[in-house]
Amino acid sequence: MAEAPTWQSDNGVQYLCGGVGDDNMQVIKAERQNANVDLKFIEGARGAYVADVDLTVSGDALPQPLRIHADGPSCLLQLPTGRYQVVADYQGVQHAQGLRVGEGSRQLTFRW
């Protein structure tokens, strides 16, 4: 059984990544209310979950880019209000999306 994901902190940002297995997915689902950004990583037409995604989050509200290795198909972030660029790298293929964080929460899906 995979270890349960826990909130981490880096560069002033709280994040929680994981979701491998039913127990870990339940932790992610329960913690979703504590995040303002919800990232999902999938591949193929059927949307199979993928893990081992390297993320880089940059924006004016961060003193330096945040770099995270997501070992599961979900990553929750608690980012300050602002505009960001999120780059996700899975097996050497990168996808980038812009993100504006304000009130409420946002969900981004990265598909390979």
Q: Give the pLDDT confidence score for residue 2 in this predicted structure.
A: 59
**Rounded to an integer, what distance in angstroms lies between the CA atom of residue 29 and that of residue 86?**
21
H/E segment holding residue 72: none
Per the structure, the count of domains in the chain is 1
The enclosing domain of 50 has a CATH number of 2.60.40.10
Q: List the beta bridge partners of residue 94.
A: 89
Determine, yes or no, domain membership for 2.
Answer: no
Determine, yes or no, domain membership for 1.
Answer: no
Q: For residue 89, what are its two tokens?
A: 């790298």
Residue of 50, 48, 87 whose CA lies nearest to 67: 87
Instruction: Tell me the mean pLDDT per 10 residues along the chain, length 112.
Output: 81 90 88 95 92 96 95 95 97 97 91 97
Residue of 95, 96, 100 whose CA lies nearest to 79: 100
Determine, yes or no, domain membership for 92.
Answer: yes
Determine, yes or no, domain membership for 100.
Answer: yes
- Give the domain extent around 74: 8-111
